[in-house]
Structure 1
Amino acid sequence: MRFPIPGTNEPHYLTKARHYWNPQWCADDFFLESSNAHLFFFQTVGAVTQVLSLSLTAVLGRITAFLLLAVGWYRLIRVLCPGLWSPLITAWFYLALAAIGNFSGEWIIGGIESKVFAYGFLFLALANACEQNWNRAGIYAGLSITWHPVVGIWALACSLFGLLCLGFLNRARIDRAMTTSCIKTAIPACGYLILCSLPGLVPSVALLIQGNPQDSFAANYIQVFYRLKHHLDPMDFDLFSYLLYAILLVAWLFLVRKESPSFANRFFQCFIIGSVGLAGIGILLGIGPRPASEMPYYAFRMSLLKFYPFRLFDALLPLAFSIALIRLIQQYLFHSATEKAKPDWLTLSLCKTILVVLCLGIFTGTLYSAWNHPPVHKMSLSQRADWIDACEWIQNHTPDDTLFLTPAHTTDFKWYAQRPEYVTFKDCPQDASGIVEWNRRLKYLRKWGQEYYNKGFDDRALQALQQKTGITHLLVKRLGPFTSIDPIYQNRTYKVYQLP
């Protein structure tokens, strides 16, 4: 219920995936014809959209991605937190924390998109790294980069940081033979990593080097301090997020003090510390006066902020805390008692029952929270019904070569209407020139609306709009009134107009 179909980002990803394989579908849509940042996702999942509907593709994609995520989760938790029920209990705790809030808007469980696959492979990579199966870890890390380069590369950086920390801590015990053995092991693992990461890394690097310096500067500013500031600008995060994650961090550091100094534990701890360090760097890069242009070296700082330095910290600190908490419970309830003080069967059963009831209560509370959470489309039930009704009428009664102006902040017009849009706030391209053009289109529509709001949207206003944008149809909620044309369709909430 919390993530109905289409869920978060699914119209954004799946419509572009469908257009990748069938360019005639929603042809001339500005976003769909922009550069493909997540090319591997569009190449693989997009093929399914040619056989199944978008809704069925979302269902199949969720099943596949969440199954991969579950396998990776299970492998990682079993390495770090022994016990048959540990993966399930940590998942309950993690979902409960996710329901409370996050730091920079990052999530893992939701709609289907490339980062869900990336986190699944990341968990598998971490599990194998903790077991020192370096070749498998390299393969899974490379696949994580392929599915989502930002997630995968930051994870690789944190992994290298963890290995360096462990090497520094164990430097007294490292001899020449061990160094030689490590190098021989690392070479094939690095080869697997590079090979498996190329399908996603190459198009991402090509995307970064596109455009001229002027467009790159403008695009960075638009991304960091306007379109994605809720993900990238630490000055935009609310105080509750800082307090929540500060408490989680302090609690996690307290819980891991007495954990066994095994390689798996130490490596994972250093990995999480690496993600904390990235977030700290991000805060230092973003903190300062607003407007951001008053910050010293702000051009350089925003060029680094656009790479999501808070992403792993946001997603994985709750996971680390959940693991540490379950390990503490296991230690004190089942393993820490000496033979003399070993609890009897009744006491042990009572402790287990209390733990099960507590975990089920947390899980039930999380489900209740999800059930009562407002839908991601932020419409009332009647407005939502009217929205889908208008889109379906458009699909059935307008030509394929139309170009629509749609209400601000709508996200799934193409999903239901299957017609191109001139521009939409949600569907922002990821290449520099595309971001600049996206911003120009939004500014023009805002200026056009302000210019004719008091004069009235007459023939002159509609002619100016059509000549400047090529828009042929309007789907409006409050925009208007239009004095020279009548709607060709309307319901309780929305009206559809055809420009003369």
Structure 2
Amino acid sequence: MQKVESEHPNMRPYFSAAAVIIIFFVFLFLCWQTEPHGHEYTYLLGSRRIFDPDFLKHDFIWRHLSPTSWLFDHLVAPLWHWFGYRQIIMLGRLFCWALLSYTLVLFCEATGRRYITFVLAIILWILSGQSTMADSKIVSSFEPKALAYPFFFMAAVMALNKKTVQAAMLSGLVILIHPIVGIWTIFTLGSGYLLNVKKTGRAELIKYILISGLISMPFLLICAWSQGVAGTAGNFDKIYVMFRVPHFTDPYDFIDTDDFIRIWGFIICSFFSVSLICAGDQFKRRYLQGVIAAITLSFVVGLIARYFELFFILKLYPFRFATEIMPFLFFVFTLSFLFSAAAYKKPSTIFLAFVIIAAHIEVALYENYYNTIKSLPARIVREYHYLTEDPPDHAGRGAMYAWIRKNTPADSIFITPSYSDFWMRSERAQVVSFRQAPLDGRINEWLKRLQDINRGMEFKHRGYRAVAELRKNQRNLSKQELFSLKEKYSARYYLTDRMRYTLMDLLVYSANNYYLYDLNKRKG
């Protein structure tokens, strides 16, 4: 089959601006949620600690901030002067999505795609769920990753336009925002230079590695040092990978046969589509193929690391780009290939490309239909006060948090279910929470505390499934176990979602199926 020539889109400025606006509104209409995602509450805690040093200063996890989100926390911290957490989350989403829309259009232009094809690819990508990994999306919540990805695409644009210095500086910046995304950014974009080394010479590759390394290496060393003690003395890597986040790091946990086939389909189709639609520009073709090859290599390395239980590799999330970036590249390049083939009137090529695309997106579109199109009117038509007040379904918990803030000491420590919004909305410390693990040597104590809340039993499950196990046992802690936790961790309050008749003498709050017990009321 003959190679399909590259497209030549109209590069008029107002077309570019229109594409940015359209993509932004696609994100807004298909991805917006009025309520914060659970982990958005957690990602804002570091910035609030910086703004208010007394906030959660008695909490086991948050009294020491992790260096991994240092830049994100310091960028967000000033916003607490003017806004509450809900407004910061909403504004953060809008900013990240607008920035991503702009950088994606630049990527469209750098790769020579037509705007109409690119926008259609974005829509299909969003409707298909964005990722093969649950709860791991580029366009979703306000967190460090959401700010890092626009700079990844900007760095890719600079590299495709042969601006190595700018690409290296942006890649280093990605590491400062999100170390994991940054590491794989340097690896994938550096691989593009490696595949072009005969054309551009070694100087460009060395320049890219040196500049990005000089910017990011001190920060990476600090992050690695903060985990070093745990890695050698306390099994940090295994606890983090196999217990806390197996839904992101263990392929046995989040990749089934269908996902495995889809990922390889994304890789193969994207690689050959790039070969055909970028045939007229050898540098860009080889560069994009190098990027895809690097993403493939990281995926394979992750599989090998899991087989040999190399947890120090798995904690770097080697599957992230294969599950998040590859679906995007698949829709962009394979759809462009289909439209290019149609333009050159190649029926067999059109049919083949259509079958490939349909086979990959049919299941994904069906699975995500109810989370996107069908629920769209309900998510768009919301009252404005939802931005400043609790939604109706959370009103009961909001009243409880208000009572806690007003009636409990600021330094009190709680034994709680794993509510993702407890820290932010109650402004009180917890003995421990599965929602956030310390990224340093304290992870061993974190696991021990969880086991104590789990009635002293080792966990039978891991990842999010352990939360259900923990919640079941936390709500059944005996009186003796509660007072043991009080003595061991200075816990004063016990929060649960069921009435404990054996603790009626300790009950201080009861409403909307939330029950709070004061362990200091013990008689004798």
Matched, 1:197 2:228: no
1:6 alignment partner, SS class: coil
When the two structures are superposed, what TM-score results if normalisation uses the length of structure 1? Answer: 0.80
Structure-2 residue corresponding to 1:303: 312
1:233 corresponds in structure 2 to 250
**2:372 partner SS:** helix
Number of the residue aligned with 2:43: 13
- Kept in 2, the 8 Å contact 1:466–1:499? The answer is yes
Q: 1:3 to 1:440 in 2, by over 3 A?
A: farther
Tell me if the contact between 1:5 and 1:58 (Cα under 8 Å) persists in the aligned partners: no
Q: Which runs of 5+ in 2 are unaligned?
A: 1-30, 348-360, 380-390, 458-469
One-letter amino acid matched to 1:204 = C
Percent identity between matched residues is: 21
Q: 1:244 aligns with which of 257, 262, 271?
A: 262
CA distance in 1, matches of 2:499, 2:264: 44
Distance of 1:479 and 1:144 partners within structure 2: 48
Q: 1:58 to 1:271 in 2, by over 3 A?
A: same
CA contact (8 A) 2:494 2:519 kept: yes
Counterpart CA distance in 1 for 2:231 and 2:489 is 24
> CA distance change for structure 1 residues 317 and 373 in 2, over 3 Å: closer, same or farther?
farther
Q: State the 4+ residue runs in structure 1 displaced beyond 6 angstroms.
A: 361-366, 452-456
| Pairs within 5 Å for 1:478-493 | 478=498, 480-483=500-503, 485-493=505-513
Are positions 1:71 and 2:107 aligned together?
no
Q: Partner residue of 1:206?
A: 225
Aligned counterparts, 1:441-460, within 5 A: 441-447=449-455, 457-458=478-479, 460=480
Report the AA paired with residue 226 of structure 1. Answer: F
Moved more, 158-167 or 252-261: 252-261
- Which shows bigger deviation, 479-488 or 90-99? 479-488
1:453 positional shift: 9.6
Per the alignment, residue 358 of structure 2 pairs with: none
Post-superposition shift, 1:372? 9.6
Q: Deviations over 1:404-426 (max 9, x none)?
A: 1111x321112221211111111
CA displacement 1:337-358 (0-9 Å, x = unmatched): 59xx9xxxxxxxxxxxxxxxx9
Query: Is 2:276 the partner of 1:258?
Result: yes
* Counterpart residue number, 1:349: none
Q: How many residues align?
A: 444
Match of 1:141 among 171, 174, 178: 171
Instruction: Name the CA distance, whole Å, in 2 between partners of 1:7 and 1:453.
Output: 24
Aligned with 2:322 (options 294, 297, 313): 313
Contact residue 148 and residue 174 of structure 2 kept, 8 A: yes
How many angstroms does 1:468 deviate by?
A: 1.1
Corresponding residue for residue 394 of structure 1: 404
Match of 2:153 among 118, 123, 126: 123
Q: How far did 1:267 drift?
A: 0.8
Confirm or deny: 8 A CA contact 2:437 2:446 kept in the other structure. yes
Question: Contact 2:194 / 2:290 at 8 angstroms: preserved in 1?
Answer: no
CA gap of 1:43–1:155, structure 2 versus 1, over 3 A, is same
Residues 284, 211 of structure 1: CA spacing in aligned structure 2 closer, same or farther, 3 A cutoff? closer
What letter is aligned with 1:143? L
1:442-497: per-residue Cα shift (whole Å, max 9, x none)? 011112599x9999834x44432210111111221137343352421111321111
Question: Does the CA contact (< 8 Å) of 2:295 and 2:321 recur in 1?
Answer: yes
Q: CA deviation at 1:498?
A: 1.3
Provide the secondary structure at the position in 2 that maps to 1:466.
helix
Q: Matches of 2:481 and 2:393 in 1, distance apart? A: 28
Q: Structure 1 34/106 Cα, relative in aligned 2: closer, same or farther at 3 Å?
A: same
Structure 1 unpaired stretches of 5+: 288-296, 342-357, 375-380
Question: 1:457–1:483: 8 Å Cα contact kept in structure 2?
Answer: no
**How far 1:306 moved relative to its partner?**
1.0
- How far does the alpha carbon of each residue in 1:417-439 deviate from its partner, in whole angstroms, 9 at most, with x for none? 121111111111111x1211110
In the other structure, the counterpart of 2:516 is 496
Contact map agreement 1:103 1:242 (CA 8 A) in 2: no
CA gap 1:162/1:411 in 2 versus in 1, 3 angstroms: same
Residue in structure 2 matching 1:435, options 428, 431, 443: 443
Change (3 A) 1:384 1:243: farther
Equivalent position amino acid for 1:164 in 2: L
Distance 1:200 1:60 in 2: 28
Shift of 1:91: 1.7
- Offset of 1:51 from its aligned partner? 3.4
Partner of 2:54: 24
Structure 1 residues 248, 211: CA separation in 2 closer, same or farther (over 3 Å shift)? closer
What secondary structure does 1:423 align onto?
coil
| C-alpha spacing 1:480/1:52, structure 2 compared with 1 (3 Å) | same
Counterpart CA distance in 1 for 2:134 and 2:341 is 34
TM-fit CA distance, 1:25: 1.0
- Cα distance in 2 between the residues matched to 1:319 and 1:399: 49
Which residues in structure 2 correspond to 1:303-342 (within 5 Å)? 303-334=312-343, 336-337=344-345
Q: Secondary structure at the match of 1:258?
A: helix
What is the aligned partner in structure 1 of residue 121 from structure 2?
A: 90
Pair 1:242–1:364, CA change in 2 (3 A): closer
Comparing 387-396 with 417-426, greater Cα deviation is found at 387-396
Q: Distance in 2 between matches of 1:236 and 1:453?
A: 25
The structural deviation recorded for 1:187 is: 6.4
Q: Is the alpha carbon distance of 1:209 and 1:491 closer, same or farther for their aligned partners in structure 2, counting shifts above 3 Å?
A: same
Pair 1:304–1:104, CA change in 2 (3 A): farther
Taking structure 2 as the reference length, the TM-score comes to 0.76
RMSD: 3.3
